[in-house]
Chain A
Amino acid sequence: MSFHGLPWALWRRQTVAVVRLELKKTLFARRGLWIYFLAFAPVLLYAAHSFSMIRTGRRGNFGEDTHIFAAVFQFFYLRLAIFFGCVGVFMNLFRGEVVDKSLHYYFLAPIRREVLLVGKYLSGLLAAAVIFCSSTLIQLVASYWYFDSNVIRDYLSHGNGLGHAAAYVGVTLLACIGYGSIFLAAGVVFRNPLVPTLIVLVWETISGFLPPLLQKCSVIFYLKSLCPVSVPASVALDKGNPLALIAVNVDPASAVTAILGLLILSVAVLALSSRRLRRMEIEYGAE
């Protein structure tokens, strides 16, 4: 069958049907409340800080706050909030249904497993993007909220404000794309989510210490390369300390390479998991 002879219209309709069904479960599930808390915890932090600054009448340092935002974004938001949030969203797309004993309904429909995987992935991505990208934007607003409006206007119109905001949202989205693909695959392959989560967490943490070629096999390598503001040495600890490697890319990739690299990595992981899904059996009794 040629590429043009494939039933793209049917696949598109089926993908949309899967997304509709999954999105409701992913966005509004009670068991996913902790993901919202994780995503919006920095908002609370920044809002509390801004509120206290306004209340006490103290003036902030815009540059310092920008660096603090960069540090929180890299150390907490990317590595913990989005990482574990994607575990919660994407790992449950298949594994959660196995636990609920409801995956067979999908397997009993005339839908290619690859289409099912794409539909589930897109629904997870849409949910994660809505939650985490909106949080990123609100974090930026909450972080700079207490500054004088002229400072903000100047930052947005003459500085890099809009560019930074777009870059942070973009990195957030790419993090969801990258971690999403990995944890969706983990949900297809592993029965116990703890094992792959720990493996990926350790891999992402130590990737800064690895040879350059292996670094390119981690999501965080590309994300760090794309962050608009570097974490200053005072925050990332001095260069003599090996922990500085966690936050600093010694040899960062260019923006195009980083984006393409991450997308290729995600597509490769999804392609491999679709092969596994094609052979997946329903054996709830073994869970």
Chain B
Amino acid sequence: MNDITPDKRIVFEDVSKFYGEVLGVNRVNLSIPPGITSLVGPNGSGKTTLMNLMTGLVEPTRGHIRVLGLSPRQPEQLFRHVGYCTQYDSFPRGLTGYEFVYSYLRLFGYGPAQARGLAIQAIDRVSLGEAADRPIASYSKGMRQRIKLAQAICHNPTILVLDEPLNGLDPLIRAETIALFRALAEQGLHLIISSHVLHEVDVISDQVVLLSNGYVVAEGEIRGVRDEIQEHPMQILIRCNKPGVLASQVFLQDYVVEARVHHDGMGLLVKTRDADRFYLLLNRIAQNGIDIESVAPADDDVLSVYEYLIGTEEPTK
């Protein structure tokens, strides 16, 4: 990912934003490559502020932001490439879903026929075709969320910024929407998603940015972030036929902090300060009669990392 040039990244250089005396975000340095990036943090941690900064809805108090090499102060160029589905559950008055998306496309300068085609295409992508001609005021929360998403993707942007995009969606639509995100990411888009639902983030993210009280606590691919947390021993779950025997052998090593037989009796949960040495040890043990079925890190998910880094301020699990 590091070979991606700055004009294909979203770059924050020492960015701070204060609302009067209230801190939005402070000293943020980020370089976000294409793929799905999740901003994770509790309410007030600065997720929406970061999104508003990169889309020019608010200006930084200090620092510089470039989005694909463009300044957010140039909306006439920026929003040819960027779509933003905000958290605001509000719409211009008196419009149907179709009129909402169509009118927005006309603001781009598209002619009626082209705007009509793009609007219908976007509305179909969010499975809202049948309700397109109904007033937005009559939509459910999930439908409003989807029509906002249609509006954000209708001009086929390169960067899609989504603030809590899965809020209010029922499980079926939620799965469809996640599949849509994946498809968009596979097309090479940047997807910046904020969420406080960590298991969702875990499922869809290529990289995460963990935020707390306006500061970026960690960023990168989730496993890489986990590896950098030295003070918390890595948890590894080994599925094997003789967990008791395995426990007695691994306990002899000084870098193994804890070994606990899994509650189903078919595995061993090990906490170690040196994962690399532990994996080498496992290779040797595997040759000595213990049948190891699988080995997997047990705490390199976003929730664990978040708890290690931020502690009690955890978002919704």
Contacts and interface: CB of A to CB of B under 8 A. Distances in A.
A282 B52 contact: yes
Given A105-B104, A281-B58, A110 B94 contact: no
B92 A21 contact: yes
Given A24-B94, A25-B94, A281-B58, A111 B86 contact: no
A108 to B, nearest CB: 5
Contacts of B57: 104, 107-108, 281-282
Contacts of A14: 107-109
A286 to B, nearest CB: 7
A64 interface: no
Interface stretch (B29-37, B70-78, B121-129, B204-212): B70-78
Given A18-B107, A110-B76, A102 B92 contact: yes
A275 interface: no
Contacts of B213: none
Nearest to B48: A285
B93 A111 contact: no
A14 B88 CA distance: 24
A10 B103 contact: no
B315 interface: no
B84 to A, nearest CB: 5
B77 A110 contact: yes
A284 B88 contact: yes
Contact of A100 (B56, B77, B90): B90
Interface of A: prevailing SS = helix
Contact of B79 (A10, A110, A279): A110
Interface string A121-147: 000000000000000000000000000
A243 B269 CA distance: 91
A13 interface: yes
Given A25-B92, A102-B92, A107-B56, A17 B107 contact: yes
A104 B94 CA distance: 17
A239 interface: no
Contacts of A97: 92
Contact of A17 (B58, B90, B92, B103): B103
A21 B111 CA distance: 15
B86 A112 contact: no
Interface string A184-228: 000000000000000000000000000000000000000000000
Interface in B54-103: 55-59, 75-80, 82-84, 86, 88, 90-94, 103
Nearest to B20: A286
B76 A101 contact: no
Closest 7 CB pairs of A and B: A17-B106, A101-B90, A110-B79, A109-B107, A282-B57, A281-B58, A13-B109
Interface of B: 19, 52, 55-59, 75-80, 82-84, 86, 88, 90-94, 103-104, 106-109, 111, 151
Interface of A: 10, 13-14, 17-18, 20-21, 24-25, 28-29, 97, 100-102, 104-113, 279, 281-284, 286
23 contacts: A17-B103, A17-B107, A20-B106, A21-B103, A24-B94, A100-B92, A102-B91, A106-B107, A108-B55, A108-B75, A108-B84, A108-B86, A109-B79, A109-B104, A109-B108, A110-B75, A110-B107, A111-B76, A111-B108, A112-B76, A283-B58, A284-B88, A286-B19
Given A104-B86, A110-B80, 9 more contacts: A13-B111, A14-B108, A20-B106, A25-B94, A102-B88, A109-B107, A110-B78, A281-B59, A282-B57
